[in-house]
Structure 1
């Protein structure tokens, strides 16, 4: 081998060695890059996991607060409802007291009164006052039922009697006890006699 060929061979071998080293460095660099990327992905996954755990903790806390607020609201409304039920009739009773006082005064006045018309007039005045108080609270008597068809939603038939005329069959002939409504709701059914 000539010296040039030998030098060329050595140069080629050296270049080959350098290429191998470069490839090795390149592979190591690629491995390092891949490891760095893997580490970044793992870091991102860990940070995402931590972030999700924080979110879950915050949502749990919000849920517990909301649940506590709801429980407090439920207890408060239950307490208010009990108080309202126990004092619901208080306003009506306070409004009825003047009528009770009038009845007491009428009883005292009637003890010595001999004129029945004065007693009757006094009783009528107190009765009208009582009705006015009840009407102001929404209690309304059922009126004008005689001659009208029987209504089972507002009336209770006590008995049936033979109808005085053919057109009175199935209609109210007499009212035994008045019915009352409070708003749209029946609080006492009218007790009536119907024609058969």
Structure 2
């Protein structure tokens, strides 16, 4: 399949040093709000990249469930590949692909386990079927058929039908504490605008990068 001719111009907007917020968290909040107000599907979706013990990176999409000046929060099965790789190497990268807005944000930092109280607070807010799904799936483990997964879901639905679904002991979350954040705005003639925030001695510095 030849794809050399698949291209377009990026003309959504520009990003200037004068328009940037001093804090990358303020800049991210602005762009996230604009993404939420756009017609992007799943604007909170982000790619989480981890590195295995063999040095090979792996990526997957998850949903951002909160952020502030302390970091970016997501939840997962603690037996999943991502959680196991984070346990061995806490350095991760997040990527927000807001293609419709000709934008992307890349976050580099350290993933820290969330306290159980925070995990429980979020889990109790999930729809009941999402809670059951967390119980039914041993994420990243081999499974022989879809029918087995469906049957386990129904078994758990029957088991917990008369009460609240408890928090699984194998389910948790992480906060990615960033030390670098890049904001990328597509530009025409491939002259994109890129600004890179880096944390040094507790202070955020920013510089423009060549596209």
TM-score bracket for the superposition, by shorter chain length: under 0.3
Higher relative contact order (CA 8 A, sep 6+): 2
Higher helix share: 1
Provide TM-score, normalisation by structure 1: 0.24
Q: Which of the pair has more CA radius of gyration?
A: 1
Provide TM-score, normalisation by structure 2: 0.23
Higher strand share: 2
